[in-house]
Amino acid sequence: MKQAEKESLKNLFKLLQKLPHSVELILHAGENMVWTCPNPGNLTVASETLTFTHGSSIPGTWFMLATLDAVPAKAGDEFTADLLADIAAKPMVKQLQIALSQISDGLRTLLGRPFFSYAATPLVILGK
């Protein structure tokens, strides 16, 4: 491996260490998908145990009692696009607001709720 590749890999690992480490759950209910990111303190096992035991999927039938946080996006919904469109109409919109919203949208795309799914905060998750 070349020195530049080693340096790039080293930088990637540094970046990954700074990203939030959390459990991401996706439940499928017919045509619908529900995304949630439970608080690790509320799990009865460590998130690493779930990963090392099951990998990326735990088969079975699951039930979740939760509060609904967000609904799937409709075609064309995107907060950053709205900000960019409004910059001419609303001069008080700051470039920093636009940059931060683009970063947030990018992180959501990489690590968070997919645009086409519901989001929920789980109260109880039960397996059958």
Residue 86: the pLDDT is: 60
Write phi, then psi, for 12 (nearest 5 degrees). Answer: -65, -45
Structure tokens at 92: 């008080």
In a domain, 67, yes or no: yes
Structure tokens at 70: 């967000």
Structure tokens at 15: 């970046």
| Strand (E) or helix (H) holding 67 | strand 62-70
In a domain, 11, yes or no: no
Tell me the residue range of the domain where 64 lies.
23-127
In a domain, 13, yes or no: no
Residue 96: the pLDDT is: 73
Residue 119: the pLDDT is: 93
Residue 57: the pLDDT is: 87
Contact 119, 35 (CB under 8 A): yes
Contact 72, 54 (CB under 8 A): no
In a domain, 120, yes or no: yes
Q: How many domains in the chain?
A: 1
Segment-wise mean pLDDT, segments of 10 residues, the chain, 128 residues: 81 70 82 88 83 86 92 68 59 70 80 87 88
In a domain, 111, yes or no: yes
In a domain, 10, yes or no: no
Residue 79: the pLDDT is: 56
Report d(CA 37, CA 27) in Å as an integer. 11
In a domain, 31, yes or no: yes
In a domain, 39, yes or no: yes
The pTM score is 0.64
Provide the 3-class DSSP secondary structure of residue 29: strand
